[in-house]
Protein backbone atom coordinates (compact mmCIF):
# COMPACT_ATOMS: atom_id res chain seq x y z
CA UNK A 1 0.00 0.00 0.00
CA UNK A 2 1.37 3.44 -0.97
CA UNK A 3 1.46 5.98 1.86
CA UNK A 4 0.18 9.52 1.45
CA UNK A 5 3.63 11.10 1.04
CA UNK A 6 4.63 8.64 -1.65
CA UNK A 7 1.33 9.13 -3.47
CA UNK A 8 1.83 12.89 -3.40
CA UNK A 9 5.39 12.54 -4.76
CA UNK A 10 4.19 10.32 -7.60
CA UNK A 11 1.45 12.81 -8.43
CA UNK A 12 3.95 15.66 -8.51
CA UNK A 13 6.26 13.73 -10.83
CA UNK A 14 3.40 12.80 -13.12
CA UNK A 15 2.26 16.41 -13.31
CA UNK A 16 5.76 17.64 -14.09
CA UNK A 17 6.30 15.04 -16.81
CA UNK A 18 2.95 15.91 -18.33
CA UNK A 19 3.89 19.59 -18.41
CA UNK A 20 7.26 18.82 -19.96
CA UNK A 21 6.03 16.50 -22.66
CA UNK A 22 2.86 18.34 -23.55
CA UNK A 23 4.38 21.81 -23.36
CA UNK A 24 1.24 22.96 -21.56
CA UNK A 25 1.38 26.66 -20.81
CA UNK A 26 0.44 27.69 -17.30
CA UNK A 27 -2.24 30.35 -16.85
CA UNK A 28 -1.02 33.78 -17.91
CA UNK A 29 -1.96 35.32 -14.56
CA UNK A 30 0.22 32.91 -12.61
CA UNK A 31 3.53 34.07 -11.14
CA UNK A 32 6.56 32.38 -9.64
CA UNK A 33 9.01 33.91 -7.15
CA UNK A 34 12.58 32.90 -7.96
CA UNK A 35 15.27 33.91 -5.47
CA UNK A 36 18.95 34.31 -6.26
CA UNK A 37 22.09 36.30 -5.44
CA UNK A 38 21.55 39.53 -7.37
CA UNK A 39 23.86 41.51 -9.64
CA UNK A 40 25.33 40.06 -12.83
CA UNK A 41 24.47 36.52 -11.77
CA UNK A 42 20.74 37.17 -11.44
CA UNK A 43 20.81 39.18 -14.67
CA UNK A 44 22.26 36.14 -16.45
CA UNK A 45 19.43 34.00 -15.08
CA UNK A 46 16.82 36.54 -16.13
CA UNK A 47 18.13 36.52 -19.71
CA UNK A 48 18.77 32.77 -19.99
CA UNK A 49 15.90 31.38 -17.90
CA UNK A 50 13.24 33.85 -16.72
CA UNK A 51 12.45 35.69 -19.93
CA UNK A 52 12.30 32.63 -22.21
CA UNK A 53 10.28 30.73 -19.60
CA UNK A 54 7.76 33.54 -19.41
CA UNK A 55 7.60 33.70 -23.20
CA UNK A 56 6.94 29.95 -23.37
CA UNK A 57 4.46 29.58 -20.52
CA UNK A 58 3.01 33.01 -19.76
CA UNK A 59 4.14 32.67 -16.14
CA UNK A 60 5.48 35.92 -14.70
CA UNK A 61 8.77 35.54 -12.81
CA UNK A 62 9.20 37.70 -9.72
CA UNK A 63 12.92 37.94 -8.97
CA UNK A 64 14.20 38.49 -5.42
CA UNK A 65 17.75 38.65 -4.03
CA UNK A 66 19.17 37.19 -0.83
CA UNK A 67 22.56 36.56 0.78
CA UNK A 68 22.32 32.78 1.01
CA UNK A 69 21.67 30.40 3.86
CA UNK A 70 18.48 28.69 4.98
CA UNK A 71 17.18 31.03 7.68
CA UNK A 72 14.54 32.75 5.55
CA UNK A 73 13.40 29.48 3.98
CA UNK A 74 13.12 27.88 7.42
CA UNK A 75 11.03 30.75 8.72
CA UNK A 76 8.63 30.50 5.79
CA UNK A 77 8.25 26.74 6.03
CA UNK A 78 7.78 26.68 9.79
CA UNK A 79 5.25 29.53 9.72
CA UNK A 80 3.40 28.16 6.69
CA UNK A 81 3.74 31.58 5.06
CA UNK A 82 5.50 30.55 1.84
CA UNK A 83 6.58 33.59 -0.20
CA UNK A 84 9.37 32.00 -2.25
CA UNK A 85 8.99 29.18 -4.77
CA UNK A 86 12.41 28.41 -6.30
CA UNK A 87 15.72 29.35 -4.65
CA UNK A 88 19.28 29.28 -5.99
CA UNK A 89 21.24 27.37 -3.33
CA UNK A 90 24.82 26.49 -2.54
CA UNK A 91 25.37 22.73 -2.37
CA UNK A 92 25.83 22.48 1.39
CA UNK A 93 22.58 24.38 1.94
CA UNK A 94 20.76 22.18 -0.57
CA UNK A 95 21.87 19.06 1.31
CA UNK A 96 21.09 20.47 4.74
CA UNK A 97 17.79 21.95 3.60
CA UNK A 98 16.72 18.55 2.29
CA UNK A 99 17.72 16.83 5.52
CA UNK A 100 15.74 19.37 7.54
CA UNK A 101 12.60 19.04 5.42
CA UNK A 102 12.76 22.58 4.04
CA UNK A 103 12.88 21.61 0.35
CA UNK A 104 10.76 19.50 -1.99
CA UNK A 105 12.31 16.34 -3.39
CA UNK A 106 12.94 16.33 -7.14
CA UNK A 107 12.88 13.08 -9.14
CA UNK A 108 15.77 13.29 -11.67
CA UNK A 109 13.72 11.23 -14.13
CA UNK A 110 11.67 14.35 -14.93
CA UNK A 111 14.75 16.15 -16.34
CA UNK A 112 15.05 16.15 -20.14
CA UNK A 113 17.81 14.12 -21.82
CA UNK A 114 20.68 15.65 -23.79
CA UNK A 115 20.04 16.38 -27.48
CA UNK A 116 21.76 13.10 -28.40
CA UNK A 117 19.47 11.14 -26.11
CA UNK A 118 21.88 10.72 -23.18
CA UNK A 119 19.80 10.50 -19.99
CA UNK A 120 20.00 13.59 -17.79
CA UNK A 121 21.57 11.68 -14.90
CA UNK A 122 24.49 10.75 -17.19
CA UNK A 123 24.72 14.17 -18.86
CA UNK A 124 25.03 16.15 -15.61
CA UNK A 125 28.46 16.33 -13.95
CA UNK A 126 28.50 13.76 -11.12
CA UNK A 127 27.21 15.16 -7.86
CA UNK A 128 25.28 18.04 -9.41
CA UNK A 129 21.87 16.43 -8.91
CA UNK A 130 20.93 15.77 -5.29
CA UNK A 131 17.72 14.62 -3.63
CA UNK A 132 16.12 18.06 -3.33
CA UNK A 133 17.95 20.18 -5.90
CA UNK A 134 19.17 20.27 -9.50
CA UNK A 135 22.49 21.88 -10.46
CA UNK A 136 22.80 24.85 -12.81
CA UNK A 137 26.37 26.13 -12.87
CA UNK A 138 29.93 25.50 -11.73
CA UNK A 139 31.35 28.62 -10.14
CA UNK A 140 34.37 29.45 -8.08
CA UNK A 141 35.57 31.86 -5.46
CA UNK A 142 38.84 33.40 -6.54
CA UNK A 143 41.14 36.26 -5.63
CA UNK A 144 41.44 39.27 -7.90
CA UNK A 145 43.57 42.40 -7.82
CA UNK A 146 43.67 45.80 -9.47
CA UNK A 147 46.68 45.66 -11.78
CA UNK A 148 47.17 49.43 -11.56
CA UNK A 149 48.04 48.98 -7.88
CA UNK A 150 50.86 46.54 -8.68
CA UNK A 151 52.59 47.88 -11.82
CA UNK A 152 55.82 45.97 -11.20
CA UNK A 153 55.63 43.02 -8.81
CA UNK A 154 52.25 41.32 -9.19
CA UNK A 155 50.63 38.78 -6.87
CA UNK A 156 49.91 35.39 -8.46
CA UNK A 157 49.26 32.92 -5.63
CA UNK A 158 46.98 32.55 -2.64
CA UNK A 159 50.06 33.00 -0.46
CA UNK A 160 50.55 36.42 -2.03
CA UNK A 161 47.04 37.38 -0.96
CA UNK A 162 48.05 36.82 2.68
CA UNK A 163 51.41 38.59 2.31
CA UNK A 164 50.60 42.13 3.41
CA UNK A 165 54.26 43.12 3.62
CA UNK A 166 55.20 42.24 0.06
CA UNK A 167 51.82 43.32 -1.31
CA UNK A 168 50.48 46.03 1.01
CA UNK A 169 46.91 47.27 0.93
CA UNK A 170 43.41 46.40 2.07
CA UNK A 171 41.90 42.99 1.27
CA UNK A 172 38.26 42.14 0.70
CA UNK A 173 36.83 38.92 2.13
CA UNK A 174 33.33 37.52 2.34
CA UNK A 175 32.01 37.70 5.90
CA UNK A 176 31.87 33.93 6.39
CA UNK A 177 34.30 31.20 7.45
CA UNK A 178 33.72 29.22 4.24
CA UNK A 179 36.60 29.48 1.73
CA UNK A 180 38.48 31.80 4.12
CA UNK A 181 39.48 28.83 6.28
CA UNK A 182 40.52 26.79 3.26
CA UNK A 183 42.61 29.64 1.86
CA UNK A 184 44.23 30.29 5.23
CA UNK A 185 45.52 26.72 5.30
CA UNK A 186 46.72 26.87 1.68
CA UNK A 187 48.55 30.11 2.45
CA UNK A 188 50.09 28.39 5.48
CA UNK A 189 51.52 25.63 3.27
CA UNK A 190 48.84 22.93 3.30
CA UNK A 191 48.47 21.26 -0.16
CA UNK A 192 44.99 21.65 -1.63
CA UNK A 193 44.35 17.91 -1.55
CA UNK A 194 44.93 17.86 2.23
CA UNK A 195 42.94 20.97 3.22
CA UNK A 196 39.83 19.21 4.50
CA UNK A 197 41.88 16.49 6.14
CA UNK A 198 43.61 19.21 8.18
CA UNK A 199 40.36 21.10 8.83
CA UNK A 200 38.87 17.91 10.24
CA UNK A 201 41.12 18.33 13.29
CA UNK A 202 40.83 20.88 16.08
CA UNK A 203 44.48 21.77 15.52
CA UNK A 204 43.78 22.42 11.84
CA UNK A 205 40.91 24.81 12.60
CA UNK A 206 43.11 26.63 15.13
CA UNK A 207 45.84 26.87 12.50
CA UNK A 208 43.43 28.38 9.96
CA UNK A 209 42.20 31.04 12.36
CA UNK A 210 45.76 31.93 13.35
CA UNK A 211 46.57 32.55 9.69
CA UNK A 212 43.43 34.65 9.29
CA UNK A 213 44.70 36.78 12.18
CA UNK A 214 47.34 38.10 9.76
CA UNK A 215 44.69 39.56 7.45
CA UNK A 216 42.11 40.65 10.01
CA UNK A 217 43.44 44.23 10.53
CA UNK A 218 43.66 44.70 6.75
CA UNK A 219 40.24 43.30 5.78
CA UNK A 220 37.10 44.91 4.43
CA UNK A 221 34.24 42.41 4.85
CA UNK A 222 31.63 41.96 2.16
CA UNK A 223 28.35 40.01 2.11
CA UNK A 224 26.66 40.49 -1.28
CA UNK A 225 28.29 39.17 -4.45
CA UNK A 226 28.07 42.52 -6.24
CA UNK A 227 30.29 44.22 -3.64
CA UNK A 228 33.85 42.95 -4.41
CA UNK A 229 34.19 44.40 -7.94
CA UNK A 230 32.88 47.70 -6.60
CA UNK A 231 35.35 47.63 -3.70
CA UNK A 232 38.16 47.18 -6.23
CA UNK A 233 36.80 49.84 -8.57
CA UNK A 234 36.43 52.35 -5.73
CA UNK A 235 39.96 51.67 -4.47
CA UNK A 236 38.74 50.54 -1.06
CA UNK A 237 40.78 47.35 -1.49
CA UNK A 238 43.69 46.32 -3.71
CA UNK A 239 42.81 42.63 -3.64
CA UNK A 240 39.61 40.81 -2.85
CA UNK A 241 37.90 37.47 -2.90
CA UNK A 242 35.04 37.38 -5.39
CA UNK A 243 32.91 35.09 -7.49
CA UNK A 244 34.60 34.54 -10.83
CA UNK A 245 31.48 35.45 -12.81
CA UNK A 246 31.16 38.84 -11.14
CA UNK A 247 34.76 39.58 -12.08
CA UNK A 248 34.23 38.48 -15.69
CA UNK A 249 31.41 40.97 -16.02
CA UNK A 250 33.59 43.78 -14.62
CA UNK A 251 36.69 42.83 -16.63
CA UNK A 252 35.22 41.96 -20.01
CA UNK A 253 32.06 44.04 -20.19
CA UNK A 254 33.03 47.05 -18.06
CA UNK A 255 36.75 46.98 -19.01
CA UNK A 256 37.96 47.21 -15.42
CA UNK A 257 41.74 46.67 -14.85
CA UNK A 258 41.24 43.56 -12.75
CA UNK A 259 43.26 40.33 -12.87
CA UNK A 260 42.08 36.97 -11.50
CA UNK A 261 44.41 34.78 -9.45
CA UNK A 262 43.16 31.28 -10.28
CA UNK A 263 45.62 29.61 -7.90
CA UNK A 264 43.69 28.03 -5.04
CA UNK A 265 40.25 28.72 -6.51
CA UNK A 266 37.54 26.97 -4.50
CA UNK A 267 34.90 25.72 -6.87
CA UNK A 268 31.35 24.73 -6.20
CA UNK A 269 27.98 24.42 -7.85
CA UNK A 270 24.71 26.25 -7.50
CA UNK A 271 21.44 24.39 -7.64
CA UNK A 272 17.73 25.11 -7.88
CA UNK A 273 15.77 24.07 -4.81
CA UNK A 274 11.99 24.30 -4.38
CA UNK A 275 10.65 25.55 -1.06
CA UNK A 276 8.68 22.89 0.82
CA UNK A 277 4.96 23.56 0.73
CA UNK A 278 4.89 26.06 -2.13
CA UNK A 279 1.39 26.22 -3.61
CA UNK A 280 2.99 26.59 -7.06
CA UNK A 281 4.84 23.28 -6.96
CA UNK A 282 3.96 22.06 -10.46
CA UNK A 283 4.98 25.39 -12.02
CA UNK A 284 8.17 25.47 -9.95
CA UNK A 285 9.08 22.02 -11.24
CA UNK A 286 8.35 23.12 -14.79
CA UNK A 287 10.72 26.05 -14.32
CA UNK A 288 13.49 23.78 -12.97
CA UNK A 289 13.02 21.38 -15.89
CA UNK A 290 13.15 24.22 -18.43
CA UNK A 291 16.12 26.08 -16.96
CA UNK A 292 18.36 23.02 -16.63
CA UNK A 293 18.08 21.69 -20.16
CA UNK A 294 21.12 21.70 -22.44
CA UNK A 295 20.34 24.87 -24.37
CA UNK A 296 19.31 27.08 -21.47
CA UNK A 297 22.38 26.15 -19.42
CA UNK A 298 24.63 26.97 -22.38
CA UNK A 299 22.78 30.24 -22.90
CA UNK A 300 23.60 31.42 -19.39
CA UNK A 301 27.31 31.36 -20.23
CA UNK A 302 26.62 34.12 -22.76
CA UNK A 303 25.97 36.47 -19.87
CA UNK A 304 28.30 35.25 -17.11
CA UNK A 305 31.35 33.00 -17.05
CA UNK A 306 30.05 30.11 -14.96
CA UNK A 307 30.35 26.62 -16.38
CA UNK A 308 27.16 24.70 -17.21
CA UNK A 309 26.69 21.47 -15.26
CA UNK A 310 25.62 19.49 -18.33
CA UNK A 311 28.36 18.05 -20.51
CA UNK A 312 26.22 18.52 -23.61
CA UNK A 313 26.02 22.27 -22.95
CA UNK A 314 29.76 22.87 -23.31
CA UNK A 315 29.67 22.36 -27.09
CA UNK A 316 27.25 25.29 -27.32
CA UNK A 317 29.34 27.73 -25.23
CA UNK A 318 31.07 30.58 -27.07
CA UNK A 319 34.79 29.70 -27.55
CA UNK A 320 35.71 33.22 -26.41
CA UNK A 321 34.05 32.55 -23.06
CA UNK A 322 35.46 29.08 -22.38
CA UNK A 323 38.93 30.34 -21.21
CA UNK A 324 37.16 32.36 -18.50
CA UNK A 325 35.34 29.37 -17.03
CA UNK A 326 36.54 27.88 -13.73
CA UNK A 327 36.79 24.46 -15.36
CA UNK A 328 39.18 25.60 -18.10
CA UNK A 329 42.27 23.34 -17.77
CA UNK A 330 44.65 26.29 -17.35
CA UNK A 331 42.56 27.60 -14.46
CA UNK A 332 41.90 24.29 -12.78
CA UNK A 333 45.43 23.03 -12.00
CA UNK A 334 45.53 23.99 -8.31
CA UNK A 335 41.83 24.15 -7.53
CA UNK A 336 39.87 22.82 -4.57
CA UNK A 337 36.32 21.52 -4.69
CA UNK A 338 34.25 22.73 -1.78
CA UNK A 339 33.55 19.76 0.51
CA UNK A 340 29.83 20.24 1.03
CA UNK A 341 29.64 17.29 3.44
CA UNK A 342 32.25 18.83 5.73
CA UNK A 343 30.42 22.13 5.67
CA UNK A 344 27.03 20.51 6.18
CA UNK A 345 28.42 18.90 9.33
CA UNK A 346 30.41 21.89 10.58
CA UNK A 347 28.75 25.05 9.30
CA UNK A 348 27.05 25.99 12.55
CA UNK A 349 30.15 25.46 14.70
CA UNK A 350 32.35 27.36 12.26
CA UNK A 351 29.85 30.21 11.99
CA UNK A 352 29.77 30.57 15.77
CA UNK A 353 33.54 30.51 16.08
CA UNK A 354 33.93 32.95 13.18
CA UNK A 355 31.45 35.38 14.73
CA UNK A 356 33.32 35.22 18.04
CA UNK A 357 36.66 35.68 16.23
CA UNK A 358 35.36 38.81 14.45
CA UNK A 359 34.49 40.48 17.75
CA UNK A 360 37.88 39.87 19.40
In the chain, list all ranges with CATH 3.40.190.10: 4-138+269-323, 139-268+330-352
Q: How far is CA 314 from the centre of its chain?
A: 18
Per DSSP, the three-state class of 267 is strand
Phi, then psi, of 304 in degrees rounded to 5 = -160, 145
3-state helix, strand, coil in the chain (%, to 5): 45, 20, 35
The arrangement of secondary structure in 139-268+330-352, i.e. its CATH architecture, is 3-Layer(aba) Sandwich (3.40)
Average pLDDT by stretches of 10, the chain with 360 residues: 38 45 48 94 96 97 96 98 97 92 97 96 92 95 96 95 97 97 98 97 98 98 95 98 90 93 94 98 98 95 90 89 82 88 91 96
Tell me the C-alpha distance between 132 and 156, whole Å. Answer: 38
Architecture of domain 4-138+269-323 in this structure: 3-Layer(aba) Sandwich (3.40)
Which parts of the chain are beta strand (E)?
A: 31-36, 60-65, 86-90, 129-130, 133-146, 171-174, 219-222, 239-243, 258-274, 307-308, 336-337
Q: What's the confidence (pLDDT) of residue 206? A: 98
Amino acid sequence: MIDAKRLRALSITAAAIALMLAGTAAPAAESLTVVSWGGAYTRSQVKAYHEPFTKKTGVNILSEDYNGGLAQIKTQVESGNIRWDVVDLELSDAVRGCDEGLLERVDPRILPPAPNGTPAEEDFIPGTIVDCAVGEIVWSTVVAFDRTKFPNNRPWTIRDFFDVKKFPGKRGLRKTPRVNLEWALMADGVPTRQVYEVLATEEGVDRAFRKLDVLKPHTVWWEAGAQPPQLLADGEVVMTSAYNGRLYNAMVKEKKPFVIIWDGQVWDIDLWGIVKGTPSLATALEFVIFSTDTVQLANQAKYISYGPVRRSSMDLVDPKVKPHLPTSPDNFSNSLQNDFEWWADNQQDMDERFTTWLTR
